[in-house]
A and B are shown apart, each in its own frame.
Chain A
C-alpha cells in the first residue's frame, strides 16, 4: 500500500517532482564537481610547479666551501669532495621514490679553449665545462630503467640546434659565450683542462640559453667531463626535482624529538624534509638541502590556492544546499491539500509524514546519482582544460553526496510537513 502510494504519486504528477528533482541534480552536480576538483587540484598544481625545476640540492657533506658564482663552481678539480655516480640508482629505492620526478648530476671543470673554426688566430680563453645528463637512462634495482637528466630538472633551458647525445664527444655552448667568441653550431672546439696539456675535441651540437651563468659555460655529457677531469664515476652536486606536500606546522617540528608514531607519520608523508632525510639515508655522507627559492614559494602558493578552492567549494555547497532545501520546502507546501485529504480519510500523521518523506528521499537518491554523474563529467572536463589531465571520478564521494542530498531534502521538507500535519484537515481542504 505504502509503496503503491509513493509510486502513484510519482506517476500521476511527474512535473511536480521534476522541479525538486532538477534542483537536487543541479545542487549535487555543483557539490561533486567542485569537491572532485578541490581534491585533485593539489596534486596537479604540485606537478605544474615542477616547471620551476629542481627543488632539492645534494652536495657532499665534507666539502670545502664552493667558490661558486651564479651556479658555476670555480674550484680546481683537485679541491673539495665528490659524490659517486654508482649511488644514483639508490634514489629510486627510497620510500617516496615515485615522487622523485628527475635528477641530474653536475660536474664543473675549469677548462681552456684553444681552437675552433672561425676563431681568430691565437685564441685562448678560459671557461667552465659543465658535465651533466640530458636524457640519461638509469637502471633501477627492480629492473626498470629511469630516464632522467637536465631536461627534467632544468626545463626552462632553451636550446638552439640540438642537445648533445649522452656519452658522445659533443657539447652545447652557452648563448653569451657563443656570441662573445663567435662559436657556431657544428664547430670543433678544442678544450684542455686547466693545468694539463692533453686536449679533447668536441663538436658543438647546439647553443643553450638559460638566463643564468650556464650562458657563459660549455655543457657536455657527464662521462666525457669525468674523463677530462680524471674523476671517473664522480660528480660535484645533484639537482633533484621531487613532488612534495606543502610544509605545515607538523613538518616544521624536529623529527629527532618526535614520538615514534609521529615520526612514522612524518616519514610517510612526502614533505620536503622527509624526502631529504630519506635521500640522506641512501646516499651516505651527503647533505640534502631544499632550494628554498623554489620550495618556499611552491609550498605557500600551493597551500593558499587549495585553501581558496576549498573555501569556494564549501560556499558553493552551502548555497546549493539552501537552494535545494528551498525547492523541496516549496514543493512540500504545495502538497498541503493532498495531505489534508489523506488525513480526512483517516491516515495518521506518521503515515502521511513518512509517505511524503519517502517521496523526497527517493527524489534525493535519484537526483543525487544523476548529479554525481554530471558533476564527475564536469570535473573531468575542467581538469582536462586546466591541466590537460582528466580527474578520475571518486566513487568514495558518491555515498557522501547521496547522504547529503537526502539530509537536505528532509531538512527542507520538515518544517512545511510538520506544520501541515498539525493543521486540521478541514481548512486545508477548503483551500484556505
Chain B
C-alpha cells in the first residue's frame, strides 16, 4: 500500500512570547516529500536530530503537522476521524529501535502480542482461545517458541525482544511497517538474523517497509530506494544502488566516507 508524504513541515512550537517575538520555533521537518511504493522497502538515512523520528511520528499521527499531508492509499491520515484513525493504525504498524524500552516490563509476552488484537477486537472478533492461538502463530512466525508465551520481557535477549516487537507489530495484520532503527541496538550477529527475518516476512506477507537507519550497510542490504535526510530537509533520494555508487550531495558522500569499513586496508589512519 503506497504512502505519500507531501510537503510535510513540522515546527515545534515557538517559546511563548509576545506578538513581536522573533522566535519561530524549531523546524524539525522542512518541506519533506516522499513516495513509498507498495511492496517495496524504502530506506530513510539520517543522523541524530535529522528529523527522521519526527517524520515517523508524523506518519503515525502521534504528532500533528504544521503543513503538508500524509496520504496512505490516497487517504489523508491527518484528516481522519478518531475512529477511522484507529482502524488505520491496525494496518500501519511500527517496530521501535530500543527492544528494551518498547515492551511493557510488567506484561507477559502473550499479553504484549495479544494487545493489538484486544485493542482492535471490533476488527478481529476473536475469542480468548483464538487470540492465544493467533499469538502462538505469530511467535512461531518470528522464530520464538511456545514455551516463551508466559515469560516477561526481561528474560529475553535483545534480539528475542526485537522479535517480540515484530510479532506485536504483525498481530493486527498490517500491510505497512515502519521500522525505526530496528537493529541498531543489536549485536551484528543478531542484526543479521533480524534482517533476514524481516526479509522473509516481507516476502511471505507482501509487506511494505519504511526502514529508518543510520547504518548505510543495513540500508543498502534491505532497501530498494533510499532518501537521505539532514537537518529536516531531504538531501537526495533514489534507488539504493544509484545513491550509494554515485552520491550527488556532499552530505551523502561524507556519510559514506565516515562509515567504518571492516576492511583494515581501507583505514584512513594506515595510509603509510
Bound pair (A, B): no
The interface of chain B, by Cβ under 8 A from chain A, is none
